[in-house]
């Protein structure tokens, strides 16, 4: 397995010197049996005091605090080297009782899964339910893995990918109405769709690599950048990766950094600054992935001039990378968002 090297650089620029508040980053991948970290580096300019913590989902969070010296530029540069051992979709082993849908999670698992099984977004007319139940057929029973693969594939086939600059994630009903979305929109939509059938699901933030995707029906969508997908808990197999943007399963070409119950809990970068909303000029994101000598690079440029009457300024996001910046009156303490 070749070593995969990832460089993720985010730069924020300001028209006038601003005071930087606390920032929180999800940049360190989750070291596990399928991903072995070899080296990690984090560089922040201007210099910051960095401490590490685990959030409620056991994600590694870097918390950066700055002194009171104003700055016109803020740069985060995360690098890591890792070996990746994804599961082949054909080798995902599910316990016999769960291999045919419907099934019920065991009593020992359900207390820990209950919040990931619950629906998180309103669907008063059960439209997401209807979309999901169309895959069950008349018998209402089917092969569990085949059901999930069909839903995963259908999202790629039915909903065109659209890179969005808006901060946040579409609700599942918005994605259903627009029939399009970004990777984070598709991940959230599939989460709510499988939850409507009783599956436990969670959101994943990380990186997509390899321009030539042998397991996909067409080229990579959203590659060379931060990416979002989802997981379903299957007895015997555990948390299984599904990427509805590219119709992939098992984690191939996906480097997992953070998992969460909802998309809002897995923002790669959040923070604040003290200054006028118009002081924020924009951001540049560069993600470079090197795997076995094949290099992928994508530079994302973003500029936003928030309305002057707003007290909270949020930079736009592309792919999955996002920062939230909060304008504060002099004398108020900076708060991470």
Q: How many Å apart are CA 12 and CA 25, to the nearest integer?
A: 14
pLDDT recorded at residue 289: 83
Q: Tell which residue, 194, 185, 183, has the closest CA to residue 223.
A: 183
Q: Tell which residue, 27, 329, 319, has the closest CA to residue 165.
A: 319
Look at domain 88-263 and name its CATH class. Answer: alpha beta
Sequence ranges of the domains in the chain: 3-83+266-326, 88-263
pLDDT in tens, the chain (337 residues): 667 889 999 999 999 999 999 999 999 998 899 999 999 999 999 999 999 999 999 999 999 999 999 999 999 999 999 998 888 888 899 999 999 999 999 999 999 999 999 999 999 999 999 999 999 988 889 999 999 999 999 999 999 999 877 778 999 999 999 999 999 999 999 999 999 999 999 999 999 886 453 334 444 444 556 899 999 999 999 999 999 999 999 988 899 999 999 999 999 999 999 999 999 999 998 988 876 544 444 444 443 333 333 323 333 333 343 333 344 433 323 222 3
pTM of the model: 0.83
**Topology (CATH) of 3-83+266-326:** Immunoglobulin-like (2.60.40)
* Token pair 């029906």 in the structure block, residue: 217
pLDDT recorded at residue 216: 40
CA dihedral sign, ordered 281, 66, 265, 254: positive
Question: What phi-psi label fits residue 247: left (phi over 0), alpha (psi between -120 and 50 degrees) or beta?
Answer: left
Q: How many Å apart are CA 113 and CA 327, to the nearest integer?
A: 38
Q: How many Å apart are CA 71 and CA 13, to the nearest integer?
A: 9
pLDDT recorded at residue 299: 43
pLDDT recorded at residue 2: 63
DSSP H helices in 35-164: 110-117, 127-133, 144-158
Q: What is the DSSP letter of 209?
A: -
List of long-range contacts for 162-171, beta carbons under 8 Å, 24+ apart:
163/222, 163/318, 163/319, 164/317, 164/318, 165/302, 165/316, 165/317, 165/318, 166/316, 166/317, 167/314, 167/315, 167/316, 167/317, 167/322, 167/324, 168/264, 168/317, 169/263, 169/264, 171/121, 171/122
DSSP H helices in the chain: 110-117, 127-133, 144-158, 172-178, 183-195
Q: How many Å apart are CA 155 and CA 142, to the nearest integer?
A: 19
pLDDT recorded at residue 184: 95
Instruction: Please report how many Cα atoms fall inside a 13 Å half-sphere around the Cα of residue 145, on the Cβ side.
Output: 21
The tokens describing 238, both together, are: 């555990």
The tokens describing 228, both together, are: 């979002």
Number of residues written out for the chain: 337
The helix/strand/coil state of 215 is: coil
């Amino acid at each position: 397995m070749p070593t995969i090297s990832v460089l993720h650089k985010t730069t924020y620029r300001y028209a006038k010197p601003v005071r930087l508040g606390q920032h929180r980053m999800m940049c360190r991948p989750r070291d596990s049996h399928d991903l072995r970290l070899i080296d990690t580096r984090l560089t922040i300019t201007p210099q910051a005091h960095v401490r590490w913590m685990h959030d409620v989902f056991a994600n590694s969070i870097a918390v950066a605090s700055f002194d009171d010296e104003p700055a016109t530029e803020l740069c985060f540069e995360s690098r890591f080297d890792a070996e990746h051992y994804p599961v082949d979709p054909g080798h995902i082993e599910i316990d016999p009782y769960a291999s045919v849908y419907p099934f019920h999670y065991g009593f020992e698992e359900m207390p820990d899964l209950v919040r990931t099984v619950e629906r998180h977004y309103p669907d008063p007319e059960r439209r997401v339910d209807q979309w999901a139940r169309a895959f069950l057929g008349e018998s209402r029973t089917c092969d569990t893995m085949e059901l999930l693969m069909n839903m995963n594939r259908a999202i790629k086939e039915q909903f065109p990918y659209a890179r969005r600059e808006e901060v946040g994630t579409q609700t599942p009903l918005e994605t259903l109405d627009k029939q399009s979305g970004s990777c984070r929109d598709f991940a959230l939509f599939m989460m709510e769709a499988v939850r409507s059938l009783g599956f436990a699901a969670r959101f994943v933030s990380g990186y997509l690599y390899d321009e030539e995707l042998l397991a996909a029906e067409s080229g990579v969508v959203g590659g060379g950048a931060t990416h979002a997908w989802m997981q379903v808990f299957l007895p015997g197999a555990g948390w299984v990766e599904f990427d509805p943007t590219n119709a992939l399963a098992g984690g191939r070409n996906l480097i997992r950094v953070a998992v969460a119950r909802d998309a809002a809990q897995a923002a790669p970068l959040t923070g604040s600054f003290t200054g006028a909303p118009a002081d924020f000029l924009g951001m540049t994101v560069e993600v470079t992935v090197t795997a076995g000598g094949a290099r992928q690079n994508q530079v994302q440029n973003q500029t936003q001039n928030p309305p002057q009457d707003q007290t909270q300024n949020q930079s736009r996001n592309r792919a999955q990378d996002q920062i939230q910046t909060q304008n504060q009156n002099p004398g108020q303490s900076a708060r991470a968002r």
